Every structure is written in C-alpha cells, then in structure tokens.
Structure 1
Amino acid sequence: MSLLDAEKSNVREGGPSFSLKHRLFRAVWNLTWAVAGSWTPVPLHGWRRFLLNAFGAKLAPKARIYPKTTIWYPPNLEMEDHALVGPGVILYNMGPMKIASYAIVSQRAHLCGGTHDVDDPHFQLQPKPITIGHKAWIAAEAFVGPGVTVGEGAVLGARGVAAKDLEPWGIYVGNPAKKLRERKRF
C-alpha cells in the first residue's frame, strides 16, 4: 500500500502521507503533464487522453479532458465515453474517481478525494472515492467532497459545495448544497 501510517511517518510534523515510490511516480507524472499535456490546444483531447492512459488512467476513447486541468494521480481516474472535464478543473483523486458517460465537470470545479481523520492525533489521511453519475453536471467552480456520489442526472450549481451524496436527477445549489428541485429526466 502506498499510503503511509501517519503515526510512523509523522505527518503532523511534515512527514509524507505516501510512499517514496508513489511520490516519485507523481513527480514524473506532473513533469510530463506540464511539458506535454496541460498547455496543449483544446482540440487535442486524444493526445491528453493518450498521456493519461499511459500513466494508468482508464479513459474511454471518447472521453474529453480540456487543457489546464490538474489530475493528481492518473491510475485513480476512470472516465466513460463522452464524459467531459473542463478547463482548469482540479481532480484531487487520492481515491478512485469515476466520471460516467455524458457527465460534465465544468471549468475550475474541484473534486477532492481525500480527507484526514480529525479525531486521530496523528491526522491519518483517508482517501475516499468520488463518483459522478451518468448525465450529471458539476457546474463552474463547484466543489465535490471526499466520498460523495453525484447521482445520475444530478446537477450541482455553480460554486455549490457537495459534502454529501446528491440524489439522481436533483438540482442542488449553495454551500452546503441543498436540493432546489427535480430535473427533467431524459
């Protein structure tokens, strides 16, 4: 396991949360993405998809990643066909992150797949999965927290904050996100 025991690694005093091998992999990934991926022109979805898949992501042939995204750990990313991640999105995917078909994560949204055990004196890191359901939409600058599932067709409005699961086909707004109404099913 690449996640280290916080007590042994002394996280509270600046020690690492992940193994050296894991950190080196991420360093190589970040350098590769900065040099060959993040800045590339919008139409080069295939090239960015190729780079991510080469580093262990599972991106379907028609998934689209826009430029200037931040992907923390490619092996934890799965995207189905026609899933879209917009420009400037942050995928802090310490745990598995799945974006289903026809789901949209709009510009500068932030999906955070980890937290710390606040009751642990050593502040142990806890990676948590995030799932964005089929036809769901995470609007501009919204935040999806650790362990959240956004149900099929659900919408999280611009700058909304989802700390809990969002029910399928609901429209949510605010901080914390509250259900505004049902979305028309299609």
Structure 2
Amino acid sequence: MGAMEPLDARQSKAGSGGPSFSLGNRLARAVWMAAWLVLARWTPPPLHGWRALVLRLFGAKLGENVRVHASARIWHPANLELGDNALIGPGAILYNQGRISIGADSVVSQRAHICASTHDTSDTHFQLVLRPVNISKRCWVAAEAFVGPGVTMGEGAVLAARGTLFEDAESWTIYRGNPATEVRKRALRSDAG
C-alpha cells in the first residue's frame, strides 16, 4: 500500500461539468475506504496505535500519541495532519477533500463534522472548491459541532456542542450556537501544585 497523494485545486476540473476528481483519485479513495473497513473499523478503542499506523500508510501526517476512534470517517488521509495527543472521537467526520490540520492536544468529539471544501455557486455545475481547515493546538470541537470550509480556530478556542462555525475563531474563546457566536473568553486554571 502506497501513500495517497494530497488533493489540491489542480485535481478539480473547475467549469468542466465533469467529476471533481480523476478516476485514479476515486479508485485510490475506494481502496482507502476498503482498507479502513477491513483493517481498522472493527478494532476496539485501545488500538489507537494500529489505526494511526493504517492512517500513516495512506499518507496522514500524525504526531505522537494520536487517538483516532474506529468509527471516525476520514475522507482522504493524505489531507490530514494531527498534532501530538490529538483525539478524533467516535463517529467524527473529517470531510477532508481539502487539507484539515488539527493541532496538538486538541479534541474533536463524537459525531463532530469538519468540512474542508465547498462548491462554486457561480458555476452552473457547482464544481468543488477546496478550503483548508486549521484547528490550532489545545482546541475543542464538542459533540455534533460543525466546522465549515476555510475556518481557522485559534489556539485554545472551543466550539460548544452542536455549534456551527463558519468564520475564524479567536484564540482562548468559547463559541456556541448556529451560527456560532462568542460566549466568553476561556479561563485556564493552573496545574501547578
């Protein structure tokens, strides 16, 4: 199994009316989905290391001690970067046609959805537009929240459960609602004993 190549805008056939990705790309993703199903989807929670190995084989860039649950759905591993100690919870969806980068010590909770692409509404065929998502370190995307295309979450930002974020989130700030709005600054307690 060779690593999958990252997708970029050159692979999109904007304005052609045809598929956004080549047949080769679609076949590579079919192989990826089959491999995840056979090698990882059935594995128990403690086998994070094994699932990380499978993701790396398909081109994901992963830090140390990354935990990805078996029920997570990752569209294209070569467009995924996870920092040290990042956690992708059960049922999370990383729709990473465009690049998704999640920083160290960040959590994407159960059934959260991160989407790194949209469609060109000025094109009669609604061709795909890749818009990378960057989630900085120490962030939390809570249960069933949605982070939209092109969004950057600053360090320590939090998106509350079922919140929808379509604009950048400031560092150390908590957001909630649809669309997400700022609730308050995030206070940190010292771990010093």
TM-score by length of structure 2 reads 0.90
Q: Distance in 2 between matches of 1:86 and 1:134?
A: 16
Find the partner of 2:26 among 13, 23, 26. Answer: 23
Unaligned runs of at least 5 residues, structure 1: none
What are the superposed Cα offsets for residues 3-42 of structure 1, whole Å, 9 maximum, x if unpaired?
A: 232432x2xxxx4210111111100000000111122100
Q: Which amino acid aligns with 2:13?
A: D
- Structure 2 counterparts to residues 1-186 of structure 1, below 5 A: 3-8=11-16, 10=17, 15-185=18-188
User: Does the 8 Å CA contact 1:93/1:112 hold for their aligned counterparts?
Assistant: yes
Q: Distance in 1 between matches of 2:170 and 2:176?
A: 13
Unaligned runs of at least 5 residues, structure 2: 1-7
Q: Distance in 1 between matches of 2:44 and 2:53?
A: 15
Aligned residues: 181
In the TM superposition, residue 62 of structure 1 has moved relative to its aligned partner by: 1.1
User: Does the 8 Å CA contact 1:153/1:185 hold for their aligned counterparts?
Assistant: no
> Over the residues paired in the alignment, what is the CA RMSD in angstroms?
1.2
Residue 3 of structure 2: aligned partner: none
2:52 partner SS: helix
In the TM superposition, residue 121 of structure 1 has moved relative to its aligned partner by: 2.1
Runs of 4+ in 1 over 4 A off after TM superposition: none
What are the superposed Cα offsets for residues 44-64 of structure 1, whole Å, 9 maximum, x if unpaired?
A: 000000000000000112111
Q: Distance in 2 between matches of 1:98 and 1:171?
A: 20
Q: Distance in 2 between matches of 1:96 and 1:64?
A: 19
